[in-house]
Chains A and B, each alone.
Chain A
Amino acid sequence: DAGVIQSPRHEVTEMGQEVTLRCKPISGHNSLFWYRQTMMRGLELLIYFNNNVPIDDSGMPEDRFSAKMPNASFSTLKIQPSEPRDSAVYFCASSSRTGGDEKLFFGSGTQLSVL
């Protein structure tokens, strides 16, 4: 299995531009998570999906952030417009919800720099 695949690995953009981060979960997994990591705030859970349905988006910082999961094999996290304070590493993770003690598998992350 290729694991969780994220793209791009690095993204550099200018303030005000739209940014789209992509994630392909592990085949057969039915839960998907988006995290953000910064030095100041550590690892923060932004949103997660079960069976392609958003369950909890309470961690999404503001309306500039949106996430979609159109099917079981693909998810996007979009920032529009981007701001310098959005600079961080964004991780996607997936798991197979089988009874409460499942483990998360993380991708390699997308390093986002907003200038």
Chain B
Amino acid sequence: DAKTTQPPSMDCAEGRAANLPCNHSTISGNEYVYWYRQIHSQGPQYIIHGLKNNETNEMASLIITEDRKSSTLILPHATLRDTAVYYCIVRSGNTDKLIFGTGTRLQVFP
């Protein structure tokens, strides 16, 4: 699976949009981009995923560049409860394995 690169930490003011970047320059055509988050002491939680097109759900939006070498997870109105580690993962559609990296620790402050 392609490796991903994320900043180790980010801050965001409550109520503002949080934009979390992810680089995956070696991504292949059949590999999906997934985002999960882990709130302290809980199991990881699925947020969103995409292949080529931008995606939006009730939690977040995922913007994938046209060349698919990078993506951005957008939390439109961050709350204190969004403080967590956010993992960007690239996974082939041919495998079930989901390999987590080190993620980005997002701190939302009042």
Contacts and interface: CB of A to CB of B under 8 A. Distances in A.
Interface size range on B against A:
20 to 34
A64 interface: no
Interface residues on A, range: 20 to 34
A45 B99 contact: yes
B43 interface: yes
B49 A101 contact: yes
A91 B97 CA distance: 14
Interface in B1-43: 30, 32, 34, 36, 38, 41-43
Contacts of A100: 30, 32, 92-94
A99 B97 contact: no
Interface in B72-103: 87, 92-94, 96-102
B46 interface: yes
A107 interface: yes
Nearest to B98: A104
Shortest Cβ-Cβ A-B pairs, 6 listed: A100-B93, A106-B43, A43-B100, A103-B46, A106-B44, A91-B43
